[in-house]
Amino acid sequence: MDLASARGRAAHERRLSARLSDVEESRSDRRLRLLRRSARGAAQGGNCDDAADSGPRERPEEDHPAVIIRDVLAPNPGPFTLSGTRTYLLGRSAVLDPGPAIDSHVEAIRAAMPNLKTILITHRHGDHAPAAVPLKHATGARMIAPPGVLDDEQVDQRVRGGERLDIDGETLEVIATPGHTSEHVCYLTSDGDLFTGDTILGEGTTAIFPPDGNMADYLHSLRTLRSRNPRRIFPAHGPTRDDAVALIDHYIAHRLEREQQIVTALDAGAHTVSSMRQRIYPELDKRLQGAAEVQIVAHLIKLESEGRVDARGGAYFLTPVV
């Protein structure tokens, strides 16, 4: 979350348009391509009349059918959820980040995905995971989630990164992305569609809250995602992004810039978190000042772990360069 720009989001947070919509922010090729045998594709191609690709990447539908990515927007707008949690519907049988356990939201998912067989979760937060429980009870769908998300008796498969999952014939790679939370994972398709949960948002930047949130881990996770060279980002909050690599580069640059601002503030004599916040965010809304200070603390923890900052009696000092 970019705290400096959060004040302008109030109107955006109220954008609760159609609860169920196809993802339409970019070209019609935003789909999960299923790498199936041509014979299998030919058998099922008649059911994919509206899923043909456009542009130079198009292949004959019988060889390369597609599963449309849709989303259901949860009615939980807020400063950190933006317009709400986007629960993704993958093909005919899977949902990703089912979201909060709000009855109307759960009903919307069930109506949109009557043959639900798989529930995927990125991390444990209350705006991402809880709806998995009533969905599983109602449908018997298998639940796939990283450790620490819900109870073990509810989760059918734990994922930690490195696994490859078959979803309607498409392979999803699980990528460990700790930082926002310690257990966070992202999911990447073979076509470069990256489902980022809260690691990357469609607008603004992600908040890191220690002790579970870890800035050093977060930057490493961003670089891991960058190395996969994704094509599109499907975030849990905010619009889909076609500029995946550029957006990741922006996220990395933003965090490094904030880190340098903290170092500069320390060098100028701002040794408390409050004084650093006043220097870095001089006109920030009072309602966001606490969250801003937590982000500064997250950076200070990283700098201290690297031996660049000393913490003494509630104050912080740059470590002398020897």
In this model, does residue 49 exceed pLDDT 80?
Answer: no
Let me know: does 63 contact 41? Beta carbons within 8 Å.
yes
Kindly report the backbone phi and psi dihedral angles of residue 143, in degrees, each rounded to the nearest multiple of 5, phi listed first.
Answer: -110, 130
pLDDT, average across residues 69-81:
95
Residue 213, number of CB atoms within 10 A of its CB = 23
C-alpha–C-alpha distance, residues 68 and 70, integer Å: 6
Q: What is the chain's mean pLDDT, rounded? A: 84
- Give the per-residue pLDDT at 61: 36
Q: In this model, does residue 178 exceed pLDDT 90? A: yes
pLDDT tens profile 227-271:
999 999 999 999 999 999 999 999 999 999 999 999 999 999 999
Helices 244-267/215-227 angle, 10° precision: 150
Q: Is 70 exceeded by the pLDDT of residue 127?
A: yes
pLDDT tens figures, 277-286: 999 999 999 9
Which top CATH class is 8-256? alpha beta
Phi-psi region of 91 (alpha: psi -120 to 50; beta: other; left: phi over 0): left
| pLDDT value for 321 | 74
Sketch the domain layout of the chain as residue ranges: 8-256
Q: What is the pLDDT of residue 39?
A: 28
Burial of 129 (0-12, 13-18, 19+ CB in 10 A): buried
Write out the E strands in the chain.
20-22, 31-33, 66-73, 86-90, 94-96, 118-120, 142-145, 157-158, 164-167, 170-176, 185-189, 193-197, 232-235, 309-312, 315-318
pLDDT tens digits, residue range 156-166? Answer: 999 999 999 99
188-233: per-residue pLDDT in tens?
999 999 999 999 999 999 999 999 999 999 999 999 999 999 999 9
pLDDT of residue 200: 98
Q: Please state the rounded mean pLDDT for residues 100-105.
A: 98
The DSSP element (H or E) to which 262 belongs, if any, is helix 244-267
CA dist 203 and 237 (Å) reads: 8
